[in-house]
Amino acid sequence: MSQPQSAAEAEMASLIVEALNLEGVEPTEIDPAAPLFGKGLGLDSIDALELALEISKRYGVQMKSDDENNREIFASLASLTAHVMATRPA
Amino acid sequence: MTVGDFFSLTRPSLFLVSGGHRWSVEEYLERAARVAAQLGASAAPVINLCEQRAAFLVAYMAALLSARTTLLPSSRAAEAVAAVAAEYPGSVVVDDALVAAATADRGSELSAAPLATEVNADFVAMIGFTSGSTGVPTRHAKRWGTVAASTVHNAAALRAAIPPELSGKQPWVVGTVPSQHMYGMELTVLLPLLDGMGIHAGRPLLPEEVAAALAEVPEPRVLVSTPAHLRAIVASGVVLPKTAVVACATAPLDAELAAQVEAATGGILVEMFGSTETCILAHRRTAQERWWTPYTGVELHPESEHTRVSAPWFLQDERLLDLVERDDRGRFSLLGRSADLVDVAGKRASLGDLNQRLLRIPGVVDGVIFQPQQSRGLVRRLAAMVVAPGLTTEQLREALAPAMDPVFLPRPLLLVPSLPRTAAGKLPRATLEEALADLLSAGAAKRGVADV
């Protein structure tokens, strides 16, 4: 692993593993900087939808499917966590 | 039939809406003519990579106006596009940026859109490429005459579900599906072009976005979606504007979800049955019917491992991988399909082939990929149990990823000491399901996760 997960990233990693049926992946083993989609965990567009729903439930953050920044937001565990933490309601 | 004929029968005043954009038919055709002018004089095919629905529609019409076939790669991944381009020398890639640039200056001189452009029945309206489980692209060429006839039936099936008090008004389509695949082409591209339905330019996916997009178009509304997207909408409890018709395809829908969708929309859910090979050929009201009603003229001929399909608008018979049972009224129900075939989120693969790919990975001693009956989440994924001492799940996943479409990547992907084989070496379905359930509840207990 290139860098350790922050507490927020660790929580997001568990959400990803549970929401996406990734049993067999240890949440703590997800590299915060590694790509989530395409390579890496090999997630697809249905996963993006499942993640967005779960994130809205857990954090009250509404993702947008036509957000031009989605590529960057969903790029890695680190970027996704940073986006959710920055936009979550107080 | 000419391009002008598309709209002359229905004369819709508005064609496309999305928030601030409202295009008349004339404006749409004018944009398409500008893109066509940009493409130059050759008749080489267009590779349409537009992600935005409005741009896709403009690029598709630009191709028609210049008598070019539209090519639809299985994905926008560079390799997939390059493979298609190599097969069609001279083909031109059209993407969102090209459409935006070609239509940026709409004040400049432009000869009127050539509405007299003849589109013949034998014109190849599109060639779709599917990746399949093997990664080798398969071509699906569609004649204009075939897709135009299918569209007439699709329109009739959807319009029949619109209540009488709204039947005189222009229906508006909102799609959660991309335009590139055959289902999206049929209902979000050809339906608006040939049946005078309006189209919402967005591709809303999240429940709140779907509700907002529906609210932006007038009644009667037609939502074009999939079981996974509808399941998300129902689970969210979002309040939807009254939607007369919901079309659903890509994977089987259950009657319970269909009834929930009807309750949430106040409309009728029409499930559409078809395949990339045949286009849509039957429909049913899933909340109330188990039997599919084929379009008039469609004939199904059950054969041992598949079903042969004929229709007056097919050039030749096509083959469905599903097995069907027919009733005396000409309707049919699905008996399942060859046990080897799996369907995940509308994509199909051979289980035998996927398993071969798993077993070929160096370090894998034994292993099985299967589709469990029960699955959490929006789609039924595949699962795998693998014996591979010395490999981590991460290494396994990395080795599997290049060999298959991501949708088939098994999850859970579990490393086990051995598979529950019978004395004869077989892996009975029930035993696999049980072993998987045990492993998952053990894993959940270990992580302190409630088993829901």
Smallest Cβ–Cβ distance between B394 and the set A29, A43, A65 belongs to A29
CB B116, CB B2: distance < 8 Å: yes
pLDDT at A24 over 80: no
Quote the pLDDT of residue B449.
Answer: 44
Residue B132 confidence (pLDDT): 59
Q: Is residue A26 part of a domain?
A: yes
pLDDT of amino acid A49: 86
From first to last of the 452 residues of chain B, give the pLDDT tens digit: 888 888 877 777 788 898 788 899 989 999 999 999 999 888 899 999 999 999 999 999 999 999 999 999 988 878 789 989 999 999 999 999 999 999 988 777 776 667 778 899 999 999 998 865 555 678 999 999 999 999 999 999 999 999 999 998 999 999 999 998 899 999 999 999 999 999 999 999 899 999 999 999 999 999 999 998 999 999 889 999 999 999 999 888 889 999 999 999 999 999 999 988 899 999 999 999 999 999 999 999 988 878 999 999 998 999 888 888 999 988 999 886 666 778 888 788 888 888 888 988 999 989 999 998 877 778 888 999 999 999 988 888 888 877 777 788 888 889 999 998 887 778 888 888 899 888 887 766 655 444 33
Split into its structural domains, chain A has a count of 1
Is A2 inside any structural domain?
no
Question: Residue A67's domain is classified under what CATH number?
Answer: 1.10.1200.10
A21 and B236 within 8 Å at the Cβ level: the answer is: no
Contacts of B447 in chain A (CB under 8 A): 14
What structural domains does chain B harbor?
A: 1-119 (3.40.50), 143-338 (3.40.50.12780), 342-447 (3.30.300.30)
Query: Per the CB < 8 Å rule, is A21 touching B232?
Result: no
pLDDT at B247: 98
The minimum CA-CA distance between A46 and chain B, rounded to whole Å, is 8
Tell me the C-alpha to C-alpha distance, in Å, between residue B176 and each of A65, B210, B223, B244.
10, 8, 8, 16
| Subunit contact A21:B206, Cβ cutoff 8 A | no
CB distance B396 to B388 below 8 Å: yes
pLDDT at A64: 81
The residues near B8 (Cβ < 8 Å, ≥ 6 apart) are: none
Is A58 domain-assigned?
A: yes
| Tokens describing residue B81 | 């596009």
Query: Residue B450: what pLDDT?
Result: 40
Q: With the C-alpha atoms ordered B402, B403, B407, B411, is the resulting torsion angle positive or negative?
A: negative
- Kindly tell me if the per-residue pLDDT of A40 is higher than 50: yes
**B343 beta partners:** B348
The pLDDT of residue B452 is 33
State the count of interchain CB pairs (< 8 A) between A and B: 81
Task: Domain of residue A21: give its range.
Answer: 7-87
A1, part of any domain: no
What pLDDT shows up at residue A12? 94
Closest Cβ–Cβ partner in A24, A50, A65 for B378: A50
* Interface membership of B141 toward A (CB under 8 Å): no
A81 occurs within a structural domain? yes
Rounded CA gap, B431 and B433, in Å? 5
- A12, part of any domain: yes
Task: State the Cα torsion B28-B30-B35-B37 to the nearest 10°.
Answer: 160
| Contact between chains at A65 and B205 (C-beta distance less than 8 A) | yes
pLDDT confidence of residue B133: 53
- Res B40: pLDDT: 83
Q: Are B197 and B224 in contact (CB under 8 A)?
A: no
**A69 found inside a domain:** yes
Give the model's pLDDT for residue B154. Answer: 97
On the question of pLDDT at A35 being above 80, the answer is yes
Q: What one-character-per-residue DSSP string does B112-164 give?
A: PP-TT-B--TTSEEEEEEE-TTTS--EEEEEEHHHHHHHHHHHHHHHHTTS-G
Instruction: Give the pLDDT confidence score for residue A78 in this predicted structure.
Output: 94
Chain-chain contact of A66 with B202 (C-beta, under 8 angstroms): yes
**CB B245, CB B158: distance < 8 Å:** yes
